[in-house]
Amino acid sequence: MWEVHGSQRVAKSLARYGRELADCYDKAFAKLADRPRAGKPLKGYEGLYSLPVTTPGGEHRIIYQLKPEDKVVYVVLTGPREEIYEILRRSSLK
Protein backbone atom coordinates (compact mmCIF):
# COMPACT_ATOMS: atom_id res chain seq x y z
CA MET A 1 0.00 0.00 0.00
CA TRP A 2 1.15 3.52 -0.84
CA GLU A 3 1.21 6.51 1.50
CA VAL A 4 -0.74 9.65 0.60
CA HIS A 5 0.92 12.98 1.46
CA GLY A 6 -0.15 16.52 0.62
CA SER A 7 1.22 20.00 0.31
CA GLN A 8 0.59 22.73 2.88
CA ARG A 9 -1.84 24.28 0.40
CA VAL A 10 -3.84 21.04 0.31
CA ALA A 11 -3.95 20.83 4.11
CA LYS A 12 -5.35 24.37 4.28
CA SER A 13 -8.03 23.74 1.66
CA LEU A 14 -9.10 20.46 3.29
CA ALA A 15 -9.37 22.18 6.68
CA ARG A 16 -12.00 24.55 5.22
CA TYR A 17 -14.24 21.70 4.02
CA GLY A 18 -17.17 20.47 6.08
CA ARG A 19 -17.28 16.94 7.48
CA GLU A 20 -19.37 15.54 4.59
CA LEU A 21 -16.97 16.84 1.95
CA ALA A 22 -13.94 15.75 3.98
CA ASP A 23 -15.38 12.22 4.14
CA CYS A 24 -15.60 12.13 0.33
CA TYR A 25 -11.94 13.15 0.10
CA ASP A 26 -10.93 10.58 2.73
CA LYS A 27 -12.49 7.83 0.59
CA ALA A 28 -10.66 9.11 -2.48
CA PHE A 29 -7.34 9.22 -0.61
CA ALA A 30 -7.89 5.62 0.53
CA LYS A 31 -8.53 4.65 -3.09
CA LEU A 32 -5.24 6.30 -4.12
CA ALA A 33 -3.36 4.45 -1.39
CA ASP A 34 -4.63 1.15 -2.83
CA ARG A 35 -4.54 2.10 -6.51
CA PRO A 36 -2.25 5.07 -7.13
CA ARG A 37 -2.84 5.02 -10.88
CA ALA A 38 -6.63 5.27 -10.46
CA GLY A 39 -6.57 8.82 -11.85
CA LYS A 40 -5.94 9.89 -15.42
CA PRO A 41 -2.69 11.51 -16.57
CA LEU A 42 -3.12 15.24 -17.20
CA LYS A 43 -2.31 16.38 -20.72
CA GLY A 44 0.36 19.05 -20.78
CA TYR A 45 1.45 18.33 -17.20
CA GLU A 46 4.00 15.54 -17.22
CA GLY A 47 3.80 13.37 -14.13
CA LEU A 48 0.50 14.81 -12.85
CA TYR A 49 -2.74 12.86 -12.51
CA SER A 50 -6.34 13.85 -11.85
CA LEU A 51 -8.81 11.81 -9.80
CA PRO A 52 -12.50 12.77 -9.71
CA VAL A 53 -14.18 13.05 -6.32
CA THR A 54 -17.98 12.94 -6.30
CA THR A 55 -19.44 15.07 -3.51
CA PRO A 56 -22.97 16.10 -2.57
CA GLY A 57 -22.14 19.62 -3.81
CA GLY A 58 -20.72 18.57 -7.18
CA GLU A 59 -17.58 17.19 -8.76
CA HIS A 60 -14.18 17.87 -7.23
CA ARG A 61 -10.70 16.83 -8.34
CA ILE A 62 -7.50 15.68 -6.70
CA ILE A 63 -4.37 16.61 -8.65
CA TYR A 64 -1.43 14.46 -7.65
CA GLN A 65 1.92 13.00 -8.66
CA LEU A 66 3.52 9.66 -7.92
CA LYS A 67 6.85 9.07 -6.23
CA PRO A 68 7.29 5.35 -6.95
CA GLU A 69 10.72 5.10 -5.33
CA ASP A 70 9.09 5.98 -1.98
CA LYS A 71 5.62 4.53 -2.73
CA VAL A 72 4.12 7.97 -2.09
CA VAL A 73 1.13 9.66 -3.72
CA TYR A 74 1.80 13.39 -3.34
CA VAL A 75 -1.37 15.50 -3.53
CA VAL A 76 -0.65 18.86 -5.14
CA LEU A 77 -4.12 20.45 -5.38
CA THR A 78 -7.71 19.72 -4.41
CA GLY A 79 -10.88 21.59 -5.23
CA PRO A 80 -14.05 21.92 -7.27
CA ARG A 81 -13.73 20.70 -10.84
CA GLU A 82 -14.79 24.05 -12.31
CA GLU A 83 -11.96 25.85 -10.48
CA ILE A 84 -9.13 23.36 -10.16
CA TYR A 85 -7.88 23.44 -13.76
CA GLU A 86 -7.71 27.26 -13.78
CA ILE A 87 -5.74 27.16 -10.53
CA LEU A 88 -3.45 24.57 -12.10
CA ARG A 89 -2.93 26.72 -15.22
CA ARG A 90 -1.93 29.70 -13.07
CA SER A 91 0.45 27.65 -10.93
CA SER A 92 4.07 26.86 -11.64
CA LEU A 93 3.45 23.11 -11.91
CA LYS A 94 3.73 22.87 -15.69
Q: Which domain holds residue 66?
A: 3-90
pTM for this model (two decimals) = 0.91
Give yes or no for residue 94 having a pLDDT over 60. no
* 23 vs 56: CA distance, rounded Å: 11
Q: Per the structure, how many domains does the chain have? A: 1
CATH number at residue 47: 3.30.2310.20
> What is the β-pairing status of strands 3-6 and 72-80?
parallel
Residue 7: the pLDDT is 87
Three-state DSSP class for 36? coil
Give yes or no for residue 52 having a pLDDT over 70. yes
Residue 9: the pLDDT is 86
Average pLDDT over residues 38-52: 95
